[in-house]
Amino acid sequence: MPFRGGEQVEVIPIKSSVISKGDDVVSILLSKCKVEDGDIIAIADKAIAAAQGRFIRYEDIKPSDRAVELAKESGLEPGFVELVLRNSDIVFGTAYRTLLTLKNGILVANAGIDHKNAPKGYAALWPEDPNKEADRIREEIERRTGKKVGVIIVDSKLSPLRMGTTGFALGMSGFKGIRDFRGKRDIYGKKILMTVMNLADALAAAAHIFMGEGDDLVPFVLIRGAPVEMGQFNPDELKIEPEKCVYFRPLYLSRLTERSTS
């Protein structure tokens, strides 16, 4: 299907009661809205964590010596830090109540593990494979409705030197996540050399506005008329190699240097 988009994009928040372990998020979603071909369904990752029982009681985790040290630096709970260490690919350092980590090719705070919207003393984990989970949810929606849709699993992240969180596509399925402008012309006729637009993260950010970060109880957002190309594409096209990332390259190279001299 070619690149599509209506004259008007609708972003529709869908409220729900608190989701619990064992709940069917697709049934809850479809009980509250009617989907159409080309809709993008954004789902909060915490809703999936709740339904799958991916809340971990970090207070019961025995911290390692390194976790205790990093907990003192960051002001985080030692058990929580140990949970982050176990789920991180790389830990780069600390800030207030934050460990800067690499997880599944994503530069993110605390390996994506969050205290918010989890019971007291517990932390919420990402799905084991966010893209496969997005596939599963999309296929189930299409099976039940006969409509071709896209799915985004939304989490929030911090951006360098910017205040506050924005949403990003932790997992996605059913549409092309990027729009490549390289080789096209700008308004002055110059050839564009580098620009690729991240549509998936942009849509996730729009959904995140309505999902909020507190007790909003908006685990779903329906996006209708989004200018995207529907179909099956590789979700890893959203990622970039560490050595090519303008933010990550210095961290990556310094980490390699540390390993080679240790």
Q: Which residue has the tokens 């039940």?
A: 144
CA-nearest of 42, 28, 81 to 205 is 42
Q: Is the pLDDT of residue 259 over 80?
A: no
Task: Please provide the CATH number assigned to the domain covering 1-51+129-262.
Answer: 3.30.1330.100
Q: How many residues can be counted in the chain? A: 262
DSSP lists the bridge partners of residue 98 as 95
Q: Say if strands 40-44 and 150-158 run parallel, antiparallel, or are unpaired.
A: parallel
pLDDT tens, 9-66?
999 999 999 999 999 999 999 999 999 999 999 999 999 999 999 999 999 999 999 9
In terms of pLDDT, which residue wins out, 172 or 92? Answer: 172
pLDDT tens, 102-139?
999 999 999 999 999 999 999 999 999 999 999 999 99
Give the separation between CA 172 and CA 43, rounded to whole angstroms: 10
114 secondary structure, DSSP code: B
Half-sphere exposure of 140 (CA within 13 A, CB side): 14
DSSP lists the bridge partners of residue 261 as none
Give residue 1's pLDDT band: very low, low, confident or very high (50, 70, 90).
very low
Residue 247 pLDDT: 81
| Structural fold of domain 55-125 | CofE-like fold (3.90.1660)
pLDDT tens, 202-216?
999 999 999 999 999
The region of weakest confidence among 48-52, 238-242, 250-254 is 250-254
DSSP H helix total and E strand total for the chain: 7, 12
Give the separation between CA 70 and CA 60, rounded to whole angstroms: 18
Domain ranges (residues) in the chain? 1-51+129-262, 55-125
Residue 7 pLDDT: 72
Cα distances (Å, whole numbers) of residue 89 to 67, 86, 126, 182, 248:
15, 8, 14, 32, 14
Which phi and psi angles does 109 have, rounded to 5°? -75, 135
Residue 5 pLDDT: 53
Give the separation between CA 56 and CA 35, rounded to whole angstroms: 33
pLDDT tens, 133-192?
999 999 999 999 999 999 999 999 999 899 999 999 999 999 999 999 999 999 999 999
Half-sphere exposure of 250 (CA within 13 A, CB side): 2
Residue 246 pLDDT: 84
Residue 6 pLDDT: 55
Q: What is the mean pLDDT of residues 249-257?
A: 67
Task: Please provide the distance, in angstroms rounded to a whole number, between the alpha carbons at the two ends of the chain.
Answer: 52
Q: What is the mean pLDDT of residues 223-248?
A: 91
